[in-house]
Amino acid sequence: MCRVLEFSERTYYAAKVRRACVRAATDEVHKVMIKSQLSANYSCYGARRLHKHLTRQRYPIARCTVARLMKILDIRGVQRGKKVFTTHPDKTSVRPPDLVKRDFTAQAPDRLWLADITYCSTCPLAVCVVHLDVYARMIVGWQIASNMHTDLVLDTLEQAV
């Protein structure tokens, strides 16, 4: 093996009997502590929260060390919820032109109206808002629905008119 890798046998045997470095030795102690504290806290802590918990327990360890060792141990904190994708754009369709050219100012009332539709992830509702105009900055129409269909926007526009 040493001939194939082209280094001397002395190097191999010296590395084999050499003691582990200080960092590797302390990492093993830290790993045991991280595992025990994580299981004691329902395995839901991330690196920052686990570091705060360990410092409250008067266990000296750096936050970056906790993060590094959690990555080595393949431990992650609990992530609540699931990201919801509400729109799926059609890559082949032609995008409508920007008629206001990103200039959201108006010189007089009823010159420029804006609309917005938003999905609230905390409660599965869609909110559609129509501003009367940019000049007055007043909301004149709004609707709330449990879906993001076309009727939501059309009903909002009808209420605004």
pLDDT tens digits, 35-91: 998 888 888 888 889 999 999 999 999 999 999 999 999 888 877 776 666 677 788
Collect all residues with Cβ–Cβ distance below 8 Å to 33 and sequence separation of at least 6: 54, 59, 61
Mean pLDDT for the stretch of residues 23-40: 91
**Residue 98 has what pLDDT?**
86
- The pLDDT value given to residue 128: 65
Whether residue 128 contacts residue 159, with contact meaning beta carbons closer than 8 Å, is answered with no
CB 63 within 8 A of CB 47: yes
What CA–CA distance (Å, rounded) separates 48 from 146? 36
What is the reported pLDDT for 41? Answer: 81
**Please, which residues bridge with residue 130 across strands?**
115, 141
pLDDT reported for residue 145: 81
> Starting at the edge strand that comes first in sequence, how are the strands of the sheet with 139-145 ordered?
114-120, 125-131, 139-145
Confidence label for 26 from pLDDT (cuts 50, 70 and 90): very high
Q: What is the pTM of this model?
A: 0.45
Condensed to tens digits (0 to 9), the pLDDT of residues 77-129 reads: 877 776 666 677 788 888 888 888 888 888 888 788 887 777 776 676 767 66
Q: Is the pLDDT of residue 30 over 90?
A: yes
So what's the pLDDT on residue 103? 85
